[in-house]
């Protein structure tokens, strides 16, 4: 949904008025929802990020203090990197690693579903299997990792009993590793769905023609399937990246609350009623996320490809 | 902000109108409470200690129903600021008072309308337990208890008729340990950073409470003696966070926790053997059959206290119902219920009436249990012969060192805490 919204509603707003009146009318209800519950709150967030605040209220003002505060000590590297840079760096790393693994796994799962499973019933059944991670609540899912990855968990039991290691491995849980594992486990589905969708649109006769012309499996994959799946890949990537950029629950629980995230900083500021500071952080986060998406949509024109 | 004020005034007027109607009802001779069908109180709070049994009993005794608006401690504070008319009664903590009272959103509560006011424990009213002064660093209740008047935004230093909150429940918090995995006595807060427990310690990631536990540790390590742990200077915050940052970098902590259930899981799974913990979390670990001790430490406890407040606009019948609810709450049945959960009731003599003598001996006097001790839900908490961790009320509350607090340098503290997490 997200890339669609961005392409149609924000960047191409004037187009809305050029199209046929009946289409404009049809899109009216959604436009209203979009304007009132997304656009206006966003504008308010932006405005409040320039306000002042005290312990118990926010004060209309036009100050840059909230932004200055975020980047305090960020441009002198005497004491190492500042919190803000460190936090964004760690978030970008999670994005990149999660994106890489969800893409590789998601692509091949989608490939299998689209080209090797021929019956629709089986495709649906296997799709449902992919949604299993979403069947339980976030909290229960997170807690369930402990018996698997914990100090006395199954994996460590296996390591110890087979003599692979002599002491329990602590990096398995409450570490960068476990955060990435949870992300990949959860969000691979977001890659599978759009890529699968792209693959199903590929005309099978193109592949047959390539095969008949003597192309081998890898050549077909590289020269035909991947280029035709680009829109799906980009949409999936946008899903994964936006979710990981704003996440703080998974990073919090799987990282043992010891790994910083922008979401957590915003959350803490909000709970201490430092709303303008939280708004400023949110604006920066939004800006960076949109920037990434913008770059991705520049690489591939999704609208054209669709 | 201006818009907000007009809205509040409007609501004020409309509540007054409701009050007038209710007053008219009174003149006709109907009792205030039963004038209409089952009055409903919108109860804003964490509701951690309000089970179904309490609601049922309340309805049977008074005909009042409660509708819960359950939020976390921080969200409760936020709601009082941003939606001061979305609730009828709020269950808040005393350490939020320095933030809340200046906003004028809470009513100064009239102690003359509280039947048991004279029996409220001296830990609240005077900061004493059994005639002995207890630690008052941080936001001790007595500092933020009294107001200069019913609409005052200032605290009074001497007892007055009007108070910020009517106290209900409080406790003394300490570290929780796994005795079966530590296998030696623990007696000081400094053990939290003992390298012996490297990778097996935890502290809570709620800055305003975590900083207090951190200060207890720093002081007991002999690194620094704070004039007031509950109101640190920037320098003191830096020092405290430096020590914890170093410990974190050295891998002392397995994890931090921010949710009650996380602390239970860390402890029950053995990932952590020593950590900051809350009393009901200890109970939760123990009811799984896993040994867990709420370890008394020689430096004393970090205490917290909560009570009921009313929105500033409360008037007439609405006020009558709320005061009736509070009087019922303090009349003993709930007090006994709270005591059995390991908390303490603000009015001890009434709670005693509703407890069996063996229960009283175990929970309040620190004597060995003469029968199995059950939780209010009927789960076994302790076997015959066991003694409560920390002992009697006087031993536990008498050793309070500091209270949960809101510091003057709160903003700076939160920032430094975030830096520690990011390090």
Q: Which residues in chain A are contacts of B103 at CB distance < 8 A?
A: 56-57
B281 and B414 co-located in one domain: yes
Q: Cβ–Cβ of A174/B255 closer than 8 Å?
A: yes
Q: Cβ–Cβ of B100/A56 closer than 8 Å?
A: yes
Judge whether A88 is closer than 8 Å to chain B, CB to CB.
no
pLDDT reported for residue B421: 85
With bands split at pLDDT 50, 70 and 90, how would you rate the model's confidence at B218?
Answer: very high
B38 and B140 co-located in one domain: yes
B321 and B288 co-located in one domain: no
Q: Give the A:B interface size as CB pairs under 8 Å.
A: 89
B103 and B226 co-located in one domain: no
Phi, psi of A175 (to 5 degrees): -150, 175
Higher pLDDT, B166 or A137: B166
pLDDT reported for residue B33: 47
With bands split at pLDDT 50, 70 and 90, how would you rate the model's confidence at B4?
Answer: very low
Q: Which residues in chain B are contacts of A270 at CB distance < 8 A?
A: 78
Question: Cα distance from A275 to chain B (closest Cα, Å)?
Answer: 10
How many residues are listed for chain B in this entry? 423
pLDDT at B179 over 90: yes
With bands split at pLDDT 50, 70 and 90, how would you rate the model's confidence at B15?
Answer: very low
Nearest to B81 among A86, A269, A273 (CB): A273
Q: Which residues in chain A are contacts of B248 at CB distance < 8 A?
A: 258
pLDDT at B71 over 60: yes
Judge whether B104 is closer than 8 Å to chain A, CB to CB.
no
Tell me: the pLDDT tens digits for B400-417? 999 999 898 988 898 899
Higher pLDDT, A57 or B359: B359
Detail the DSSP E strand segments found in B235-349: 253-257, 274-277, 293-295, 301-309, 344-345
Higher pLDDT, A299 or B92: B92
Nearest to A258 among B75, B253, B262 (CB): B253
Q: Which residues in chain A are contacts of B269 at CB distance < 8 A?
A: 146-147, 150-152
B261 and B407 co-located in one domain: yes
Q: Which residues in chain B are contacts of A172 at CB distance < 8 A?
A: none
pLDDT at B170 over 60: yes
What is the rounded CA–CA span in Å between residue A244 and residue A261? 10
Q: What is the mean pLDDT of residues B296-304?
A: 95
pLDDT reported for residue B37: 67
Domains held by chain B: number: 2
pLDDT reported for residue A17: 52
Question: Which residues constitute the domain of residue B206?
Answer: 173-300+399-422
Q: Which residues in chain B are contacts of A44 at CB distance < 8 A?
A: none
Chain A residue whose CA is closest to B259 = A253
Q: Where does A79-305 sit in CATH, by number?
A: 1.10.3720.10
On whether residue B320 sits in a domain, the answer given is yes
B83 and B190 co-located in one domain: no
Nearest to A143 among B258, B265, B418 (CB): B265
Q: Cβ–Cβ of A56/B81 closer than 8 Å?
A: yes
pLDDT reported for residue B5: 42
pLDDT reported for residue B242: 95
Q: Please give the torsion angle defined by the CA atoms of residues B52, B58, B61 and B64, in that order, rounded to the nearest 10 degrees.
A: -130
Helices (H) and strands (E) counted in chain B, each on its own, are 16, 17
B253 and B309 co-located in one domain: no
B45 and B119 co-located in one domain: yes
Tell me: the pLDDT tens digits for B236-246? 999 999 999 99
Q: Cβ–Cβ of A258/B421 closer than 8 Å?
A: yes
Q: What percent of chain B has pLDDT over 70?
A: 91
pLDDT reported for residue A20: 66
On whether residue B407 sits in a domain, the answer given is yes
B144 and B12 co-located in one domain: yes
Domain locations along chain A: 79-305
B185 and B232 co-located in one domain: yes
Neighbours of B183 (CB within 10 A): 8
Nearest to B205 among A146, A173, A257 (CB): A257
Decide: pTM greater than 0.90: no
Judge whether A263 is closer than 8 Å to chain B, CB to CB.
no
pLDDT reported for residue B75: 84
Q: Is B406 left (phi over 0), alpha (psi -120 to 50) or beta?
A: beta
pLDDT reported for residue B14: 44
B177 and B85 co-located in one domain: no
Sites in chain A below the pLDDT cut of 50: 1-13, 16
Q: Cβ–Cβ of B422/A86 closer than 8 Å?
A: yes
Cα B171–chain centre separation: 7
pLDDT reported for residue A18: 58
Q: Tell me, what CATH number does B116's domain have? A: 3.40.190.10
Which residue of A80, A256, A277 is the best one to mutate when testing the B interface, meaning the one whose CB has the most B CBs within 10 A? Answer: A256
Q: Cβ–Cβ of A268/B207 closer than 8 Å?
A: yes
pLDDT reported for residue A163: 87
Short-list A275, A232, A245, CA closest to A114: A232
Q: 3-class DSSP state for residue B140?
A: coil
The two three-digit tokens of residue B169, written as one number: 């429940």
Short-list B265, B252, B328, B282, CA closest to B50: B328
On whether residue B81 sits in a domain, the answer given is yes
pLDDT reported for residue A306: 62
What is the SS3 string spanning A106-133? HHHHHHHHHHCCCCHHHHHHHHHHHCHH
Which residue of A52, A179, A257, A275 is the best one to mutate when testing the B interface, meaning the one whose CB has the most B CBs within 10 A? Answer: A257
pLDDT at B19 over 70: no
User: Are the C-beta atoms of residues A143 and A254 closer than 8 Å to each other?
Assistant: no
On whether residue B345 sits in a domain, the answer given is no
Q: What is the mean pLDDT of residues B92-103?
A: 90
pLDDT at B204 over 60: yes
Q: Cβ–Cβ of A257/B254 closer than 8 Å?
A: no
With bands split at pLDDT 50, 70 and 90, how would you rate the model's confidence at B346?
Answer: very high
């Amino acid at each position: 949904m997200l890339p669609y919204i961005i392409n149609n509603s924000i960047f191409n707003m004037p187009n809305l008025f050029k199209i046929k009146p009946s289409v404009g009318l049809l899109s009216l209800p959604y436009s209203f929802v979009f304007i009132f519950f997304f656009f206006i709150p966003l504008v308010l967030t932006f405005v409040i990020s320039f306000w002042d605040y005290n312990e118990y209220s926010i004060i209309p003002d036009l100050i840059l203090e909230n932004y200055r505060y975020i980047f305090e000590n960020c441009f002198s590297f005497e004491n190492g990197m500042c919190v803000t840079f460190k936090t964004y760096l760690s978030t970008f790393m999670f994005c990149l690693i999660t994106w890489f693994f969800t893409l590789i796994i998601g692509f091949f799962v989608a490939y299998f579903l689209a080209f090797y499973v021929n019956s629709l019933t089986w495709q649906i059944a296997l799709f449902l299997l992919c949604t299993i991670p979403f069947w339980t609540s976030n909290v229960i899912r997170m807690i369930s990792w402990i018996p698997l990855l914990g100090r006395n968990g199954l994996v460590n039991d296996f390591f110890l009993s087979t003599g692979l290691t002599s002491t329990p491995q602590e990096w398995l849980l409450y570490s960068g590793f476990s955060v990435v594992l949870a992300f990949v486990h959860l969000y691979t589905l977001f890659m599978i769905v759009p890529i699968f969708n792209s693959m199903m649109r590929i005309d099978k006769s193109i592949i047959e023609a390539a095969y008949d012309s003597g192309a081998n499996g890898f050549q077909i994959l590289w020269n035909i399937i991947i280029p035709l799946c680009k829109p799906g890949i980009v949409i999936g990537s946008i899903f994964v990246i936006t979710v990981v950029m704003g996440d703080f629950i998974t990073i919090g629980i799987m990282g043992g609350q010891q790994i910083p995230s922008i979401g957590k900083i915003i959350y803490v500021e909000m709970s201490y009623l430092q709303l303008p500071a939280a708004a400023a952080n949110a604006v920066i986060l939004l800006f960076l996320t949109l920037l990434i998406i913008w770059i991705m949509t520049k690489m591939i024109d999704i609208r054209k490809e669709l | 902000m201006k818009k907000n004020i007009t809205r509040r005034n409007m609501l004020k007027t409309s509540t007054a109108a409701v009050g007038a109607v209710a007053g008219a009802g009174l003149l006709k001779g109907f009792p205030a409470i039963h004038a209409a069908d089952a009055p409903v109180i919108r109860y804003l709070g964490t509701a951690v200690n309000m089970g179904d049994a309490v609601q049922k009993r309340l309805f049977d005794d008074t005909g009042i129903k409660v509708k819960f608006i359950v939020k976390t401690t921080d969200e409760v504070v936020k709601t009082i600021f941003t939606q001061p008319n979305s609730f009828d009664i709020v269950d808040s903590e005393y350490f939020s008072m320095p933030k809340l009272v200046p906003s004028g959103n809470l009513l100064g509560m009239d102690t003359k309308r509280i039947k048991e006011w004279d029996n409220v424990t001296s830990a609240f009213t005077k900061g004493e337990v059994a005639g002995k002064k207890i630690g008052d660093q941080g936001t001790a209740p007595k500092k933020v208890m009294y107001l200069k008047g019913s609409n005052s935004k200032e605290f009074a230093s001497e007892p007055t008729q009007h108070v910020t909150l009517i106290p209900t429940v409080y406790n003394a918090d300490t570290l929780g340990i796994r005795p079966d995995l530590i296998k030696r006595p623990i007696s000081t807060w400094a053990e939290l950073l003992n390298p012996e427990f490297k990778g097996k310690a935890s502290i809570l990631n709620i800055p305003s409470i975590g900083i207090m536990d951190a200060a207890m540790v720093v002081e007991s390590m002999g690194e620094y003696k704070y004039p007031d742990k509950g109101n640190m200077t920037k320098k003191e915050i830096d020092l405290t966070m430096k020590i914890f940052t170093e410990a974190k970098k050295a891998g002392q902590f397995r994890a931090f926790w921010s949710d009650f259930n996380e602390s239970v899981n860390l402890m029950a799974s053995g990932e952590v053997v020593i950590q900051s913990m809350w009393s009901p979390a200890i109970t939760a670990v123990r009811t799984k059959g896993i040994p867990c001790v709420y370890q008394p430490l020689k430096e004393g406890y970090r205490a917290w206290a909560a009570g009921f407040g009313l929105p500033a606009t409360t008037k007439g019948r609405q006020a009558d119902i709320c005061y009736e609810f509070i009087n019922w709450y303090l009349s003993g049945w709930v007090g006994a219920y709270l005591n059995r959960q390991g908390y303490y009731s603000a009015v001890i003599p009434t709670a005693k009436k509703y407890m069996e003598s063996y229960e009283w001996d175990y929970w309040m006097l620190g004597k060995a249990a003469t029968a199995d001790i059950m939780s209010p839900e009927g789960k076994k908490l302790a076997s015959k012969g066991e003694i409560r961790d920390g002992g009697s009320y006087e031993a536990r509350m008498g050793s309070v060192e500091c209270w949960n607090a809101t510091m003057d340098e709160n903003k700076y503290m939160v920032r430094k805490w975030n830096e520690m997490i990011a390090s």
